[in-house]
Structure 1
Amino acid sequence: MEKIALITDSTSDIPKDIVDKYNVNVLHYRVIYKDREFIDGINVDSKYIYDNLDREIPTSSLPPMDEMETLFSNLQKEGYTHAIAITLSGGLTGIFNGIKLVSENYPGIKTYIYDSKSISAGETMLVEECAKLIEKGVSFDEIVNRLPSLRKRLHLYFVVGTLEYLKRGGRIGKIAGSIAELLNIKPIVAVDVNDGKYYTYDKVRGRKRSLNRLIKIANDILRTKKCRMAVMHGCALEDSKKIFDVIKKNSNVVSATFGGNISPVSGVHSGPGLVGLVLFEEE
């Protein structure tokens, strides 16, 4: 009989109630300052990151290999035969390879690592869909085969307050980012489903117009699809709440989650002012 474990990482912003309900295992990134180090979402919160950005911009690192080793060792002791890991987009991180290396030390656990080509609530929605399938008794192989079709139903877009932090982290080109800043262009950013990197979905001038464009994108999708919705933010509570309140009124929104701040390690790379929208199409 199959016993399937679910694994994700701290950039998924997965809520505690989902972790507890489905026994999801979360690997934690690290936030690193010159003289101190924090565990993402455990002993540091997003507010701390944003409050200190003017003094020092930290770096980030993958969940340590020993944390992964401990996880797989515990899964083995608990009798798990299979594991499905849903990770942050591979175009933004090397966690996929890290888990793969460790999982090879545990041949008794058949492990499948799926690159979500997403982040934050996008990751969480894929994890939750897998959890529901496990709960229904769907086999490991069938869940693995379904993951690409689940990903096709996922839409993620966000805007940031400034492009400075995406530039510093190499997430966008420095020249293009600098020109956009000078022209007050606020791009709508999405994740490329092919290479998993950020790309400009649309260009809008000014903060207000960019937020209105997010609403239009949502309503265009919701015109023909019923969706679950989640809104996340990075030190942009007021703007994100406005977006949330407008979009959730659409009759094709079947459920709406206001997720709050993104993980600290994500905030390092996006900076303050992020407003993110995730839609997941219902079948």
Structure 2
Amino acid sequence: MEKIALITDSACDIDMETLKENNIYLLPFRIIYKSEEFMDRIEISPQEVYNRLSTEIPSTSLPNIQLIEDTLTEIEDKGYTHVIAIMISSGLSGTYNSMRLMCENHPKLTCEIFDSKTLTMGEGSLVLSAAEMIQKGLSFNEIAEALPNLRNKVHVYFTLETLEYLRKGGRIGKVAGTIGDLLNIKPIIHVGDDGIYHSYAKARGKNQAMSKILSILKDYLDKVKCSVWILNGGAPEEGRKFMENVKGLNNIVNLFSGDIGPALGVHTGPGLIGLIIKEEE
């Protein structure tokens, strides 16, 4: 009889309580400062990372290889026969490849390493869907076959307070970033089907950016029922304000709020507002 373990990484932005409730194994990213290192969400919270950005911008690194090995060994020792691992987009991180290679050391486990091609609660929603399917008793093959279709129904958009952190990280040209800041341009970024960031739109000022994101959501809701996540990165008040604008919209099946973790946040800085949409049947 199949016994299926579910694994993800901390880029999924599922809170610790929900992970425990659903028996999901977490592989935390490493948040690395000059003098110290932390395991994401286990040893440092997203808010603590945002609070420290003004003094030092940390780097993020893949989950520890030994931790991946120990997790797989624990899973095997507990009698699991199958593993479904849903990872951050391979276009944004090497975590997917690391997991794939480590699973080769465990031939007794039948593993499905799934490239979510997204992150934050886009990835997280896929993990929670997989957990629900496991709880309902679906087979390993049924879950593995369902994931690509579910992935096509998940959409991630976000807007930034400043282009400074993207510029520091080498993700945009210095001149474009400087001019953008001077003109108060707020980009709206979309995670594409290829699993990398794409510029979706630009807005003059944060209010216009938030209106544009609301408009994106309404376009989806006009066509289909959706579950919606409103996430913030170091901007809880803006997140709450946007949540109020979303409440009461037709066709929202579930509405959630939460924090965007460092996997995305250290590259974008505080002031991030994210919209994650999952099309429902």
TM-score, normalised by the number of residues in structure 1: 0.94
Aligned mates of 2:11, 2:84 — CA distance in 1: 17
Aligned mates of 1:153, 1:108 — CA distance in 2: 33
Aligned mates of 1:124, 1:185 — CA distance in 2: 29
Aligned mates of 2:167, 2:153 — CA distance in 1: 29
Bigger CA drift: 50-59 or 32-41?
50-59
Aligned mates of 1:128, 1:81 — CA distance in 2: 20
Write the letter of the residue equivalent to 2:51.
D
Deviation at 1:58, TM superposition (A): 1.2
Tell me what 2:162 maps to.
Answer: 162
Tell me what 1:222 maps to.
Answer: 221
One of 266, 269, 277 as aligned partner of 1:268: 266
Tell me what 2:88 maps to.
Answer: 88
Tell me what 2:244 maps to.
Answer: 245
Write the letter of the residue equivalent to 1:253.
I
Secondary structure of the residue that 1:193 maps to in structure 2?
A: coil
Q: Residues 186 and 204 of structure 1 are in contact (CA less than 8 Å); yes or no, is this contact kept in structure 2?
A: yes
Secondary structure of the residue that 2:162 maps to in structure 1?
A: coil
Counterpart check, 1:32 vs 2:32: yes
Tell me what 1:72 maps to.
Answer: 72
Write the letter of the residue equivalent to 2:142.
E
Secondary structure of the residue that 1:203 maps to in structure 2?
A: strand
Tell me what 1:255 maps to.
Answer: 254
After superposition, where does 1:33-72 map in structure 2 within 5 Å? 33-72=33-72
Tell me what 1:111 maps to.
Answer: 111
Write the letter of the residue equivalent to 1:281.
E
Post-superposition Cα deviations, 1:40-60, rounded to whole Å, max 9, x if no partner, equal: 111212232222222221111
Post-superposition Cα deviations, 1:118-139, rounded to whole Å, max 9, x if no partner, equal: 1111111101111111122211
Secondary structure of the residue that 1:246 maps to in structure 2?
A: helix
Unpaired segments ≥5 residues, structure 1: none
Tell me what 2:276 maps to.
Answer: 278
Aligned mates of 1:163, 1:149 — CA distance in 2: 34
Q: Residues 60 and 262 of structure 2 are in contact (CA less than 8 Å); yes or no, is this contact kept in structure 1?
A: no
Unpaired segments ≥5 residues, structure 2: none
Q: Residues 3 and 80 of structure 2 are in contact (CA less than 8 Å); yes or no, is this contact kept in structure 1?
A: yes
Write the letter of the residue equivalent to 2:70.
T
Bigger CA drift: 167-176 or 7-16?
167-176
Q: Residues 30 and 265 of structure 1 are in contact (CA less than 8 Å); yes or no, is this contact kept in structure 2?
A: no
Q: Residues 44 and 264 of structure 1 are in contact (CA less than 8 Å); yes or no, is this contact kept in structure 2?
A: no
Q: Residues 29 and 265 of structure 1 are in contact (CA less than 8 Å); yes or no, is this contact kept in structure 2?
A: yes
Write the letter of the residue equivalent to 2:15.
P
Tell me what 1:202 maps to.
Answer: 201
Post-superposition Cα deviations, 1:219-275, rounded to whole Å, max 9, x if no partner, equal: 11101111111111011112111211111211211111111x222343211210000
- The sequence identity of aligned pairs, in percent, is 44
Tell me what 2:141 maps to.
Answer: 141
Q: Classify 1:18/1:178 alpha carbon distance in 2 versus 1 (closer, same or farther; 3 Å).
A: same
Tell me what 1:98 maps to.
Answer: 98
Q: Classify 1:220/1:53 alpha carbon distance in 2 versus 1 (closer, same or farther; 3 Å).
A: same
Aligned mates of 1:170, 1:89 — CA distance in 2: 19
Q: Residues 112 and 144 of structure 2 are in contact (CA less than 8 Å); yes or no, is this contact kept in structure 1?
A: yes
Q: Residues 165 and 270 of structure 1 are in contact (CA less than 8 Å); yes or no, is this contact kept in structure 2?
A: yes
Tell me what 1:125 maps to.
Answer: 125
Aligned mates of 1:267, 1:235 — CA distance in 2: 8
Q: Residues 118 and 196 of structure 2 are in contact (CA less than 8 Å); yes or no, is this contact kept in structure 1?
A: no
After superposition, where does 1:184-199 map in structure 2 within 5 Å? 184-194=184-194, 196-199=195-198
Q: Residues 172 and 198 of structure 1 are in contact (CA less than 8 Å); yes or no, is this contact kept in structure 2?
A: no
Secondary structure of the residue that 1:201 maps to in structure 2?
A: strand
Task: Give the aligned CA root-mean-square deviation in angstroms.
Answer: 1.5
TM-score, normalised by the number of residues in structure 2: 0.95
Write the letter of the residue equivalent to 2:207.
K
Deviation at 1:204, TM superposition (A): 1.2
Write the letter of the residue equivalent to 1:43.
E
